[in-house]
A = this chain, B = another copy of it.
Amino acid sequence: MPSSSSADQVADSPAPRLPADHPAVNELFALLAYAEVAAFYRLTDEAKMAPNLRGRISMASIAAAEMGHYEVLRDALESRGVDVVQAMSKYVSALENYHRLTTPSTWLEALVKTYVADALASELYLEIAGGLPDECVEVIQAALSETVHSQFVVAEVRAAVTASAKQRSRLALWARRLFGETITQAQYLLADHDELVDLVMSGAGGLSNVTAFFDRLQHTHDQRMSELGLS
């Protein structure tokens, strides 16, 4: 019976994927492109807190990798005929605001932010991208690809919190604040940009799975806290 089969299909994939030429794709690429640029400048600023040349260089390498990611998105946007700088402009204030609200005050706080908040942001972007065709998801994945640099963060933070219980509780609190602020700001961003909401709604499960998604975010966040010795 065709009608029943169609109903099964709806149950399997509640919302159809957006087409690759949907304007929401450009919006997500542009948001992510500016996020990479903002991360570049934030990391180089924070590198000034590094206690030594080694830390300053590690931070510079992470920052440079963000520009590599930016270039992936810029190329994708250009090949879609988009004026990249203009498209990014509308996301400048939201991202600057986010970084202002989560400015680290010490080198260790900067390291924790690099590790915890950047990974969380990646998960948010990938979830938003869930409703896109594979070719678009691949661009996002390339732009979010893990760099090899994060091991130096784990080593430095673990050493510091192993040596000092006070440092551990201070950084655990900081990481919890980063988690909350990142989720909050992501919600504001979605609320301000309808095209991005379309993407979330068209993703696997749409908004009906938002609770499960936040559970997953909390779970991976807890794992990262444990890796850093902060749980």
Give the B-binding residues of A (Cβ under 8 A): 37, 40-41, 44, 47, 52-54, 56-57, 60-61, 63-64, 66-68, 70-71, 85, 88-89, 92
The oligomer's copy count stands at 2
Give the Cβ gap from A32 to chain B, nearest Cβ, in Å. 14
Top 5 nearest A-B pairs (CB, nearest first) are A64-B67, A64-B64, A44-B44, A54-B85, A40-B60
Residues of B within 8 A of A92 (CB): 53
A61 touches B67 (CB 8 A): yes
A64 touches B40 (CB 8 A): yes
A60 touches B67 (CB 8 A): yes
Give the Cβ gap from A90 to chain B, nearest Cβ, in Å. 11
- A58 and chain B: residue at smallest CB distance: B85
B71 touches A61 (CB 8 A): yes
Give Cα distance in the complex from A47 to B52, angstroms: 23
- A61 and chain B: residue at smallest CB distance: B67
B64 touches A68 (CB 8 A): yes
Give the Cβ gap from A15 to chain B, nearest Cβ, in Å. 34
Give Cα distance in the complex from A88 to B52, angstroms: 12
- A52 and chain B: residue at smallest CB distance: B85
A85 touches B53 (CB 8 A): yes
Give Cα distance in the complex from A37 to B56, angstroms: 9
- A34 and chain B: residue at smallest CB distance: B53
A–B Cβ pairs within 8 angstroms, 9 of them: A40-B44, A52-B85, A53-B88, A53-B89, A54-B85, A61-B67, A63-B64, A64-B66, A64-B68
Give Cα distance in the complex from A56 to B57, angstroms: 21
- A57 and chain B: residue at smallest CB distance: B37
A41 touches B60 (CB 8 A): yes
Which of A53, A57, A63, A67 is most buried by chain B, counting CB atoms within 10 A of its CB? Answer: A57
Give the Cβ gap from A76 to chain B, nearest Cβ, in Å. 15
Residues of B within 8 A of A70 (CB): 57, 60-61
Residues of B within 8 A of A67 (CB): 60-61, 63-64
